[in-house]
Amino acid sequence: MAKVIIAGGGIAGLAAGVYAQKSGFETVIYESNRVPGGNCTAWRRKGYFFEGGMHWLNGSSPGRMLHRVWREVGALSPASRIITADPFMVCLWEGERICLYRDPGRLEDQLRALSPEDGPAIKNLCGEIRRFMPLQLPVTDLPGLKVREKAPAAPGALLRMLPALSRVLPLGKQRTADYAARFRHPGIRMLLRGVVPPDYDAASLFYTLANFASGDGGYVEGGSPKLSAGMAGRFTELGGVIRYGERISRIVVKNGRAAGVIAGGEYIPADAVIVAADALAAVDTLFDEPVRKGWTGRMRRDTIPLVSTFVCMGVEADLSSWDENVLFPLKRPYEYGGVRFTGARFYNYAAYPGYAPEGCSVLTTILRGDTYEYWKDARDRGLYDQRKKELFETIRDRFGEQIPGLAGKAAVWDVATPLTYERFCGSYHGSWMTMTPPGSRRTPYPCTVPGIGGLYFAGHRMRPPGGMPVAVYSGRTAAQRLCRDFGAVFG
Ligand SMILES: Cc1cc2nc3c(=O)[nH]c(=O)nc-3n(C[C@H](O)[C@H](O)[C@H](O)COP(=O)(O)OP(=O)(O)OC[C@H]3O[C@@H](n4cnc5c(N)ncnc54)[C@H](O)[C@@H]3O)c2cc1C
């Protein structure tokens, strides 16, 4: 039985661990935190539950190929309750409630009634959504791999994707903001710019909208910890071991092969190592010398990290009459860390039992923008906590433009900055996904490095834009590579 060490117990590391263990390897995951899941996480403060990871899950629907992968790794089970909120998002614009309905027909009717002069643009929008609906991450097996059970490639699924694939290239050349600019109604423009970052290519916009339209992109009741704990539970049931609170400081390479790791100052030998920590950080920090072979140069050069700050608050008020995912223009735009915000968005968890004490609610928001240096400067000057508090107050006051009286009711709050993600997950530049501006390449990076045997990479960086689907799938791919190299049967 070959021994495999996995660096990182996030979604990618746990997935790699489950598949490696099922395939007969003796697998140990080293996770520097005391809990599994990495960025797929949430935390409690004074009775409030702050969902700080999953907002929507690709593959939550049983109709998607990825669903079986989530089930195999223990993230989902037949008992999982998937919440597919509809409308998925609501833009409050000058007294109008503009809903992002999942069904393109319903969306079309609503937008036409709202803005008849946008008729042709609305027809195009909903036509593209329908064309993109069959598009999904194909789940396949590596060529030449011995498998216990074949990949869940649905018959004809690839054929059905062809109309969408022919649109990926042209839409991939324009920004979401430019696509949205064709609408005359400013509320529709704002709604579309809120789906994915406005600098992302428009193919990402349609991939996301079509995902919702297909009934996918749900939220798993119990949130990120439930998902991560399910995976960690499956891994340990299979005999895998997780060493929590133990950080790997070095991957040891001897005679052109990964030979083990250094953790807690001790050398732990292994036959293979899977690096499931952020690959962009790992290639520069976890080896005696930065890895410069193969794809690593391209990853360093091409990756534009998506950087965000997460703000959450517990509110002593019942906000269940408000929508779950609300976008609105600000009466008083603000600037923070060099980024200007003219609109705001909140996620409202009032409808989720157990997320707040009786009669109370949780609001969260994700502020996009590279504020890494701003926070670093604040920390260096001893202003970190003060800046966090200022940011919370700014957000609370802006939310208060919509929700009167919020200021006196936001009882508990927290802010996770890019430095938090760097410290908690070892994330490169505090980032947990990769930007996909027009023209960017989304081809997956190979999971092996030429000249170093027994070394595999997994994680969200392995295919832009990343996120949980890429993390889980890359973990599966790393385990398949491992099986192929060691002559083991996968699964
Ligand atoms: C606020 C927020 C919202 C999000 N919303 C969504 C969403 O709605 N949908 C979606 O798909 N994705 C979403 N994401 C992104 C998604 O959570 C991540 O892309 C994904 O979880 C990454 O998983 P990973 O396993 O590749 O990496 P990570 O989560 O970074 O896991 C890496 C793990 O390795 C550990 N580690 C690192 N270095 C070492 C070391 N040297 N030794 C031991 N352990 C180490 C870390 O502690 C971490 O646990 C969101 C993320 C955030 C923060």
Indicate which atom in ligand 1 lies nearest the CA of residue 56: 8
Write out the two tokens for 327: 């976008």
Take residue 176 and report the two structure tokens written for it. 């979401």
Going from the Cα of 41 to the center of ligand 1, the distance in angstroms, rounded, reads 8
| Ligand 1 pocket: which of 5, 6, 11, 40 to mutate (most atoms within 8 A of CB) | 40
For residue 55, report the distance from its CA to the centre of ligand 1, in Å.
13
Two tokens, residue 47: 């009775």
CA 310–ligand 1 middle distance (angstroms): 14
Structure tokens at 167: 């649109």
* pLDDT, position 1: 86
pLDDT of residue 151: 87
The answer, as to whether pTM is greater than 0.95, is: yes
8 A C-beta contact, residue 91 and residue 330: no
Domain ranges of the chain: 3-78+221-303+439-486, 85-140+150-214, 305-428
| Pair of tokens at residue 485 | 């190299």
Which tokens belong to 247?
């950080």
pLDDT along the chain (491 residues), means of 10: 97 98 98 98 97 97 95 97 96 97 98 98 98 94 94 78 92 97 98 96 97 97 97 98 98 98 98 98 98 96 97 97 97 96 97 95 97 98 98 97 93 97 98 94 94 98 97 98 98 92
Strand-pairing partners, residue 262, are 250, 267
Check the CA dihedral 364-365-366-367 and report its sign.
Answer: negative
36 lines ligand 1 (CB under 6 A): no
Cis previous bond, 404, omega within 30: no
3-78+221-303+439-486: which CATH architecture?
3-Layer(bba) Sandwich (3.50)
Atom 4, ligand 1: residue with shortest CA distance:
53
Does 287 contact ligand 1 (Cβ within 6 A)?
A: no
Residue keyed to tokens 């929508």: 323
Strand, helix or coil at 300?
helix
Nearest atom within ligand 1 for CA of residue 8: 34
Tokens 């998937």 locate to 82
Closest-CA residue, ligand 1 atom 46, reads: 425
Query: If you classify domain 305-428 with CATH, what class do you get?
Result: alpha beta
* Cα torsion angle, 298, 299, 301, 302, sign: positive
> How far, in whole angstroms, is CA 7 from its chain's centroid?
19
Quote the pLDDT of residue 159: 86
Is any ligand 1 atom within 6 A of the Cβ of residue 18?
Answer: no
* Contact (CB, 8 A) for 9 and 37: yes
Q: Measured between alpha carbons, how far apart are the two ends of the chain, in Å?
A: 15
Can you give the pLDDT at residue 154? Answer: 67
Measured in Å, residue 403 CA sits from the centre of ligand 1 at 32
